[in-house]
Protein backbone atom coordinates (compact mmCIF):
# COMPACT_ATOMS: atom_id res chain seq x y z
CA UNK A 1 0.00 0.00 0.00
CA UNK A 2 2.86 2.38 0.70
CA UNK A 3 4.05 2.22 -2.90
CA UNK A 4 0.48 2.61 -4.22
CA UNK A 5 -0.07 5.69 -2.08
CA UNK A 6 3.23 7.23 -3.17
CA UNK A 7 2.29 6.65 -6.82
CA UNK A 8 -1.13 8.22 -6.28
CA UNK A 9 0.40 11.28 -4.60
CA UNK A 10 2.84 11.66 -7.50
CA UNK A 11 -0.06 11.96 -9.95
CA UNK A 12 -1.26 15.24 -8.43
CA UNK A 13 0.18 18.63 -7.62
CA UNK A 14 -1.43 19.21 -4.22
CA UNK A 15 0.79 16.96 -2.10
CA UNK A 16 4.11 15.16 -2.00
CA UNK A 17 5.67 12.36 0.03
CA UNK A 18 8.28 13.81 2.38
CA UNK A 19 8.82 11.04 4.95
CA UNK A 20 8.54 7.24 4.80
CA UNK A 21 8.34 5.29 8.06
CA UNK A 22 9.92 1.84 7.83
CA UNK A 23 10.77 -0.59 10.64
CA UNK A 24 13.55 -2.29 8.72
CA UNK A 25 15.81 0.57 7.67
CA UNK A 26 16.68 4.24 7.98
CA UNK A 27 18.03 6.25 5.06
CA UNK A 28 17.46 9.67 3.48
CA UNK A 29 13.71 10.18 3.45
CA UNK A 30 13.13 7.03 5.52
CA UNK A 31 12.84 6.99 9.31
CA UNK A 32 12.36 4.17 11.79
CA UNK A 33 9.19 4.42 13.94
CA UNK A 34 11.08 5.19 17.15
CA UNK A 35 12.69 8.21 15.49
CA UNK A 36 9.54 9.83 14.11
CA UNK A 37 9.94 12.79 16.50
CA UNK A 38 12.93 13.97 14.49
CA UNK A 39 10.76 14.31 11.36
CA UNK A 40 7.61 15.94 12.74
CA UNK A 41 8.40 19.26 11.10
CA UNK A 42 8.70 17.60 7.68
CA UNK A 43 5.07 16.60 7.10
CA UNK A 44 1.46 17.65 7.75
CA UNK A 45 -0.45 14.37 7.38
CA UNK A 46 0.61 10.79 8.09
CA UNK A 47 -1.12 7.92 6.23
CA UNK A 48 -0.99 4.48 7.85
CA UNK A 49 -1.98 1.18 6.24
CA UNK A 50 0.61 -0.97 8.03
CA UNK A 51 -0.43 -2.82 11.19
CA UNK A 52 -1.83 -2.12 14.63
CA UNK A 53 1.70 -2.02 16.11
CA UNK A 54 2.11 1.39 14.47
CA UNK A 55 -0.34 2.95 16.93
CA UNK A 56 2.38 4.54 19.15
CA UNK A 57 3.69 6.42 16.08
CA UNK A 58 0.20 7.67 15.25
CA UNK A 59 -0.41 8.73 18.85
CA UNK A 60 2.86 10.67 18.93
CA UNK A 61 2.04 12.41 15.65
CA UNK A 62 -1.51 13.25 16.73
CA UNK A 63 -0.32 14.78 20.01
CA UNK A 64 2.02 16.95 17.94
CA UNK A 65 -0.94 18.23 15.93
CA UNK A 66 -0.33 16.16 12.81
CA UNK A 67 -3.36 14.98 10.87
CA UNK A 68 -3.88 11.22 10.62
CA UNK A 69 -5.33 8.89 7.98
CA UNK A 70 -5.73 5.29 9.18
CA UNK A 71 -6.74 2.39 6.95
CA UNK A 72 -5.18 -0.30 9.14
CA UNK A 73 -7.62 -2.93 10.37
CA UNK A 74 -7.28 -5.52 13.15
CA UNK A 75 -6.93 -2.65 15.60
CA UNK A 76 -8.33 -3.00 19.11
CA UNK A 77 -10.95 -0.76 20.68
CA UNK A 78 -8.30 0.33 23.19
CA UNK A 79 -5.96 1.43 20.39
CA UNK A 80 -8.75 3.36 18.71
CA UNK A 81 -9.60 5.07 22.00
CA UNK A 82 -5.94 5.93 22.64
CA UNK A 83 -5.60 7.49 19.20
CA UNK A 84 -8.87 9.41 19.55
CA UNK A 85 -7.66 10.84 22.86
CA UNK A 86 -4.36 11.89 21.26
CA UNK A 87 -6.17 13.56 18.35
CA UNK A 88 -8.28 15.51 20.82
CA UNK A 89 -5.30 16.46 23.00
CA UNK A 90 -3.26 17.63 20.01
CA UNK A 91 -6.20 19.53 18.48
CA UNK A 92 -5.53 17.50 15.39
CA UNK A 93 -7.99 15.64 13.19
CA UNK A 94 -8.12 12.15 11.72
CA UNK A 95 -9.93 10.01 9.18
CA UNK A 96 -10.27 6.35 10.08
CA UNK A 97 -12.05 3.75 7.94
CA UNK A 98 -12.00 0.01 7.30
CA UNK A 99 -12.03 0.73 3.57
CA UNK A 100 -10.94 3.81 1.59
CA UNK A 101 -12.44 2.71 -1.71
CA UNK A 102 -14.96 5.27 -2.93
CA UNK A 103 -17.03 2.47 -4.47
CA UNK A 104 -17.13 0.50 -1.24
CA UNK A 105 -18.29 3.52 0.73
CA UNK A 106 -21.07 3.98 -1.81
CA UNK A 107 -21.92 0.31 -1.21
CA UNK A 108 -22.19 0.99 2.53
CA UNK A 109 -24.92 3.54 1.77
CA UNK A 110 -26.66 1.25 -0.74
CA UNK A 111 -26.62 -1.63 1.73
CA UNK A 112 -28.40 0.47 4.32
CA UNK A 113 -31.20 1.09 1.81
CA UNK A 114 -31.36 -2.59 0.81
CA UNK A 115 -31.67 -3.54 4.47
CA UNK A 116 -34.80 -1.41 4.76
CA UNK A 117 -36.29 -2.63 1.47
CA UNK A 118 -35.75 -6.37 2.07
CA UNK A 119 -37.05 -7.12 5.57
CA UNK A 120 -37.17 -10.78 6.49
CA UNK A 121 -34.72 -11.87 3.79
CA UNK A 122 -31.89 -14.23 4.74
CA UNK A 123 -28.53 -12.44 4.61
CA UNK A 124 -25.01 -13.76 4.17
CA UNK A 125 -21.69 -12.03 3.48
CA UNK A 126 -18.79 -13.62 1.59
CA UNK A 127 -15.43 -11.84 1.46
CA UNK A 128 -12.18 -12.85 -0.25
CA UNK A 129 -8.64 -11.50 0.22
CA UNK A 130 -5.05 -12.51 -0.47
CA UNK A 131 -3.48 -15.22 1.67
CA UNK A 132 -1.26 -12.76 3.57
CA UNK A 133 -4.11 -10.77 5.07
CA UNK A 134 -3.97 -11.21 8.82
CA UNK A 135 -7.52 -10.46 9.93
CA UNK A 136 -10.53 -12.60 9.01
CA UNK A 137 -13.19 -11.48 8.56
CA UNK A 138 -11.90 -8.19 7.19
CA UNK A 139 -12.66 -4.84 8.74
CA UNK A 140 -14.77 -4.08 5.69
CA UNK A 141 -16.83 -7.24 6.14
CA UNK A 142 -17.39 -6.36 9.79
CA UNK A 143 -18.58 -2.90 8.74
CA UNK A 144 -20.97 -4.42 6.19
CA UNK A 145 -22.30 -6.81 8.83
CA UNK A 146 -22.82 -3.99 11.32
CA UNK A 147 -24.93 -2.02 8.82
CA UNK A 148 -27.47 -4.85 8.58
CA UNK A 149 -27.02 -6.15 12.16
CA UNK A 150 -25.72 -9.47 10.87
CA UNK A 151 -24.18 -12.00 13.24
CA UNK A 152 -20.55 -12.80 12.41
CA UNK A 153 -21.45 -16.47 11.97
CA UNK A 154 -23.06 -15.29 8.72
CA UNK A 155 -19.80 -13.73 7.48
CA UNK A 156 -17.59 -16.09 5.46
CA UNK A 157 -13.90 -15.25 4.87
CA UNK A 158 -11.71 -16.73 2.14
CA UNK A 159 -7.93 -16.20 2.05
CA UNK A 160 -6.32 -17.30 -1.20
CA UNK A 161 -3.68 -16.27 -3.70
CA UNK A 162 -3.32 -12.56 -4.43
CA UNK A 163 -6.97 -11.44 -4.32
CA UNK A 164 -7.08 -7.70 -3.61
CA UNK A 165 -10.56 -7.72 -2.15
CA UNK A 166 -13.99 -9.13 -2.98
CA UNK A 167 -17.11 -8.53 -0.90
CA UNK A 168 -20.61 -9.81 -1.63
CA UNK A 169 -23.79 -9.40 0.40
CA UNK A 170 -26.55 -11.88 -0.42
CA UNK A 171 -30.25 -11.37 0.33
CA UNK A 172 -32.46 -14.39 -0.36
CA UNK A 173 -36.19 -15.08 0.14
CA UNK A 174 -39.46 -15.42 -1.75
CA UNK A 175 -37.92 -17.34 -4.61
CA UNK A 176 -35.33 -14.67 -5.44
CA UNK A 177 -31.75 -13.67 -4.65
CA UNK A 178 -30.40 -10.12 -4.52
CA UNK A 179 -26.63 -9.63 -4.55
CA UNK A 180 -24.67 -6.48 -3.78
CA UNK A 181 -20.94 -6.73 -4.43
CA UNK A 182 -17.69 -4.82 -4.77
CA UNK A 183 -14.44 -5.93 -6.39
CA UNK A 184 -11.10 -4.22 -5.84
CA UNK A 185 -9.05 -4.77 -9.00
CA UNK A 186 -5.93 -3.11 -7.60
CA UNK A 187 -4.74 -1.20 -4.56
CA UNK A 188 -5.18 2.01 -6.52
CA UNK A 189 -8.79 2.41 -5.34
CA UNK A 190 -7.68 2.41 -1.70
CA UNK A 191 -4.69 4.68 -2.34
CA UNK A 192 -6.86 7.18 -4.21
CA UNK A 193 -9.28 7.40 -1.30
CA UNK A 194 -6.50 7.70 1.28
CA UNK A 195 -4.91 10.61 -0.58
CA UNK A 196 -8.32 12.25 -0.95
CA UNK A 197 -8.77 12.00 2.82
CA UNK A 198 -5.29 13.42 3.42
CA UNK A 199 -6.06 16.43 1.24
CA UNK A 200 -9.34 16.97 3.13
CA UNK A 201 -7.72 16.98 6.57
CA UNK A 202 -5.52 20.13 6.56
CA UNK A 203 -8.68 22.23 6.92
CA UNK A 204 -9.63 20.32 10.07
CA UNK A 205 -8.37 20.93 13.61
CA UNK A 206 -11.45 19.88 15.57
CA UNK A 207 -9.87 17.12 17.65
CA UNK A 208 -12.17 14.51 16.12
CA UNK A 209 -11.85 11.21 14.29
CA UNK A 210 -13.93 11.30 11.10
CA UNK A 211 -15.22 8.57 8.81
CA UNK A 212 -14.31 8.42 5.13
CA UNK A 213 -18.03 8.79 4.39
CA UNK A 214 -17.78 12.31 5.80
CA UNK A 215 -14.94 13.09 3.40
CA UNK A 216 -17.14 11.94 0.52
CA UNK A 217 -20.17 13.85 1.80
CA UNK A 218 -22.22 10.67 2.14
CA UNK A 219 -23.06 11.40 5.78
Whether 129 is catalytic:
yes
* Residue 81, number of CB atoms within 10 A of its CB: 11
Q: Which of 133, 156, 204, 208 is catalytic?
A: 133
Whether 16 is catalytic:
no
Q: Which of 129, 142, 167, 210 is catalytic?
A: 129
Three-class secondary structure of residue 112 per DSSP: helix
| Contact (Cβ atoms closer than 8 angstroms) between residue 189 and residue 102 | yes
Give the sign of the dihedral formed by CA 195, CA 197, CA 202, CA 208: negative
| Contact (Cβ atoms closer than 8 angstroms) between residue 17 and residue 9 | yes
Largest CA distance in the chain: 63
Q: Residues with catalytic annotation?
A: 129, 133
Amino acid sequence: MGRAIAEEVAKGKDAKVTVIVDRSEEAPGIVRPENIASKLSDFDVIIDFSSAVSNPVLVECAKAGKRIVVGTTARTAAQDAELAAAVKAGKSSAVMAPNFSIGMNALFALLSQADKLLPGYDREIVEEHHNQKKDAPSGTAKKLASIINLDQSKVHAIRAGEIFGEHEIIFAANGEVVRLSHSALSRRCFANGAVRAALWLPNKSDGKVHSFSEVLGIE
